[in-house]
Amino acid sequence: MPDSLSPPRVTASSLCAKKAHGQKIAALTAYDCPTARLLDRAGIDIALVGDSVGTNVLGYRSEQQVTVADILHHSAAVRRGVERAFVLADMPFLSYHSTEAALTNAGRLIQEGGADGVKLEGGTPVLPQTEAMARAGIPVMGHLGFTPQSHGRDLYAFSEKRGTVARVQGRSAAEARWLLEEARRLQEAGVFALVLEMVAEEAAQVVSQALEIPTIGIGSGRHCDGQVLIAHDLLGFSGVTLRLAKAYAHLGEQAAQALGAYRHDVEQGAFPTDENVFHMEPGELAQLRQHLGPKS
């Protein structure tokens, strides 16, 4: 039986209820079991197994190289570390090009990967897939605005030296209307929530206020119903300064210093010390030396 003191599991319904009650939703990426445990302990609502695992963990050049097998592997790891958070698995590039593929791959992410729901990018072109998955009982989150699977995450990295490369969407009235129309179509198709990435704040506010489902923003301003970041950016592991993110720690620098200190101690013989080793019992050592002879 579940612990009566444990917080209730986050579900698609409870996320929608948070919007109805004016409560913000906190989401972060997670690619492994230890990170998932930390997110869960911190009370994060959504653990997103994003296709950003490709560029942040697997060394791929872009999200387009991420496979269903990759997401399955990392989703299962995150599932093992989560008790409360909603595990959301990205559907990778070309995994939902048809309704049949979408149902098959989403089903695997739920059944084999342990995900609570899936996320896919796009609007009108993916409405049939979205409707089919929703009818099958698969919680689906949509994604509008900047779509990394189409462009590659490196295109929207912001640094003070390089400036913003990718174009923010929704800056014109026509674009904002189009985003609103696409968002409404996705809501009608059955998505339970919607990511808005790199959308002008005012346009994101209009979309968020018009929808019954929650919006999760990344680089889309302060009026979305929740926010999502890549954990590596938040913790300072990525090494890239992003305008849309905030580094709450600089663990990458601290980790590099720790690794360098370890190398130095090994080279100088300062590690290990007596505190880090184990010894034989004196009597056993005496027996061994007697067996080895006087030269021992």
Active site residues: 197
CA distance 169 to 197: 9
Beta bridge partners of 197: 145, 218
CA 105 to chain centre: 19
Name the DSSP class of 86.
E
C-alpha dihedral sign at 225, 142, 144, 147: positive
- Is residue 118 within 8 A of residue 88, CB to CB? The reply is yes
Residue 96: closest CA among 160, 51, 31: 51
**C-alpha atoms less than 13 angstroms from C-alpha of 182 in its C-beta half-sphere:** 22
DSSP state string for 169-191:
B--SHHHHHHHHHHHHHHHHHT-
User: Which helix (DSSP H) or strand (DSSP E) does residue 127 occupy?
Assistant: helix 127-135
- Is residue 134 within 8 A of residue 96, CB to CB? The reply is no
CA distance 261 to 278: 23
Query: Identity (one letter) of the amino acid at 255?
Result: A
CA distance 168 to 218: 11
SS3 194: strand
**C-alpha atoms less than 13 angstroms from C-alpha of 115 in its C-beta half-sphere:** 31
